[in-house]
C-alpha cells in the first residue's frame, strides 16, 4: 500500500513525540517473531527504510525475520515499463544484504512479496524477473483489489478496480503462481471478500494470504455501521476459512479506514492492555475460524504506527495470545509465516 493524502486510509502522519508519551517493557521478550507484513518506503512526508525498521526491531521483542510486502516503492525508473515493479524486489533485496552486513540479529526482508499486473500478457516475464532479482527471498505477489464505490475508501495510487479477482485476464496470470511455487497476498476490503473466496476456490493449489483480517470497514459509507458490517465480515471469514489454501494475517487494525480508533484521537497513546481489548473482537474470530496454524501476526508498519509504536503493537498481540498453548503461540508469531513464505 502506498501513502496518500486520504485521511480515512492513513490518518495522521507519524507522530513520534505523541507515541513516546506512553511506553512499557516488552512482554515475553524471548518469543521468536516473524513480522509477516511490513513496508519500506521514503516519501515527502514519511520515511521508513532500514534505519527506521532497525530501530523498531531493536525495541525489545525478538524479531527473527521480516516479510517486506509491495507498496509501489523503489520501482525501476528506466527500462521496459512492465518490469518497473521488479525494482522494489531489487531494493528490498539490497536492504536485506545491508542488514546482514550490519550484523543484524533479524533476517530483514527474509521474504519479499512483489507486484505484477497479472492481467497482462507479460506477467510471466515479470514473475521470472522478480525471481532473478532474488531467487532466495522472492516469495509471492500482491495485486490489490481494495476498491469501493465510496471514493473516500480507495487509494487512487493503487490502481484498483471492482471485480479484479474475477477478471479472466487476471486469472490467466494468477494460474502461473502455483507452478512457480509463489503465494498470493490479497488486499481486499470486506465487501470484496466474496471475490477473494471465489479466487481461492478456483485455484486450490495456490496459497492465498488474506491481508489485514479482510478489512472490515468502519469509515466512509460504513461509519457508525459496525453492527451491520461485523456479521457480513464474519460470515466471509468463516467461508474463507473453509478453503484449506487460505491463511490470514492478523494486523492492520491501526488503519483508520477500519474505524477502530486505536488511540489516534486520544491525548496519549493507548496501553497494550486497552489495545488488545479493542482488537480482540476482530482478531479472536479469525483465530477461531482458521486455527493458529493458518494465522500470522503482522505489524503493518509503518502504516499502523499512526496508532501505536512497534513495541506496543507486539505487546497487544501477545496479550491476545495469552490463553494459547506454547505450540499455538509459536504458530501465530513465527510458524505460520515461516511455512507460508518458505523462509530459510
Tens-digit pLDDT string for the chain (344 aa)? 333 445 445 545 788 999 999 999 999 999 999 999 999 998 777 899 999 999 999 999 999 999 999 999 999 999 999 999 999 999 999 999 999 999 999 999 999 999 999 999 999 999 999 999 999 999 999 999 999 999 888 877 777 888 999 999 999 999 999 999 999 999 999 999 999 999 999 999 999 999 999 999 999 999 999 999 999 999 999 999 999 999 999 999 999 899 998 987 889 999 999 999 999 999 999 999 999 999 999 999 999 999 999 999 999 999 999 999 999 999 999 999 999 999 98
Whether the ω angle into residue 46 lies within 30 degrees of 0, i.e. cis, is no
Q: Residue 343 in contact with residue 107, Cβ under 8 Å?
A: yes
Upper half-sphere CA count for residue 151 (Cβ side, 13 Å): 3
Question: Which residues 6+ apart lie within 8 Å of 75 measured at CB?
Answer: 84, 85, 87, 88
Residue 24 in grid coordinates: 512499557
Residue 57 in grid coordinates: 526491531
Name the DSSP letter for residue 301. B
Domain range summary for the chain, segments of one domain joined by +: 30-340
Q: Residue 88 in contact with residue 70, Cβ under 8 Å?
A: yes
Global pTM value: 0.96
Helix-strand-coil split of the chain, %, nearest 5: 45, 15, 40
CA–CA separation, 269 and 284 (whole Å):
23
CA–CA separation, 175 and 64 (whole Å):
32
pLDDT attached to residue 160: 80
Q: Name the residue among 306, 227, 224, 304 with its Cα closest to residue 265.
A: 306
pLDDT attached to residue 46: 84
Give the CATH fold of the 30-340 domain: TIM Barrel (3.20.20)
Q: Say whether 87 sits in a helix, a strand or coil.
A: helix
CA–CA separation, 298 and 73 (whole Å):
19
pLDDT attached to residue 61: 98
Name the DSSP letter for residue 248. E
pLDDT attached to residue 3: 38
pLDDT attached to residue 263: 84
pLDDT attached to residue 152: 87
Amino acid at each position: 500500500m502506498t501513502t496518500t493524502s486520504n485521511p480515512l486510509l492513513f490518518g495522521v502522519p507519524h507522530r513520534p513525540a505523541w507515541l513516546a508519551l506512553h511506553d512499557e517493557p516488552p512482554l515475553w521478550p524471548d518469543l521468536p517473531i516473524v513480522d509477516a507484513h511490513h513496508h519500506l518506503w521514503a516519501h515527502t512526508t514519511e520515511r521508513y527504510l532500514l534505519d527506521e525498521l532497525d530501530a523498531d526491531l531493536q525495541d525489545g521483542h525478538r524479531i527473527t525475520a521480516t516479510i517486506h510486502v509491495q507498496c509501489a516503492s523503489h520501482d525501476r525508473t528506466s527500462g521496459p515499463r512492465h518490469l518497473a515493479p521488479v525494482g522494489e524486489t531489487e531494493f528490498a533485496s539490497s536492504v536485506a544484504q545491508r542488514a546482514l552486513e550490519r550484523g543484524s540479529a533479524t533476517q530483514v526482508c527474509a521474504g519479499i512479496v512483489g507486484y505484477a499486473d497479472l492481467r497482462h500478457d507479460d506477467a510471466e516475464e515479470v514473475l521470472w524477473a522478480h525471481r532473478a532479482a532474488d531467487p532466495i527471498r522472492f516469495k509471492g505477489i500482491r495485486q490489490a483489489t481494495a476498491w469501493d464505490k465510496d471514493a473516500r475508501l480507495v487509494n487512487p495510487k493503487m490502481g484498483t478496480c471492482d471485480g479484479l479477482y474475477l477478471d479472466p485476464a487476471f486469472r490467466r496470470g494468477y494460474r502461473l503462481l502455483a507452478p512457480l511455487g509463489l503465494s498470493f497476498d490479497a488486499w481486499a476490503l470486506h465487501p470484496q471478500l466474496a471475490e477473494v473466496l471465489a479466487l481461492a476456490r478456483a485455484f486450490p493449489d495456490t496459497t492465498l494470504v488474506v491481508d489485514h483480517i479482510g478489512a472490515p470497514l468502519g469509515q466512509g459509507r460504513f461509519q457508525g455501521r459496525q453492527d451491520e458490517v461485523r456479521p457480513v465480515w464474519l460470515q466471509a471469514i468463516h467461508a474463507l476459512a473453509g478453503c484449506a489454501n487460505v491463511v490470514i494475517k492478523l494486523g492492520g487494525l491501526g488503519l483508520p479506514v477500519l474505524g477502530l480508533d486505536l488511540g489516534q484521537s486520544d491525548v496519549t497513546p493507548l496501553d497494550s492492555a486497552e489495545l488488545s481489548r479493542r482488537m480482540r473482537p476482530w482478531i479472536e474470530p479469525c483465530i477461531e475460524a482458521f486455527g493458529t496454524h493458518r494465522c500470522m501476526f503482522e505489524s503493518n508498519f509503518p502504516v499502523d504506527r499512526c496508532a501505536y509504536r512497534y513495541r506496543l503493537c507486539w505487546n497487544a498481540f501477545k496479550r491476545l495470545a495469552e490463553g494459547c498453548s506454547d505450540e499455538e503461540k509459536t504458530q501465530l508469531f513465527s510458524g505460520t509465516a515461516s511455512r507460508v513464505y518458505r523462509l530459510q
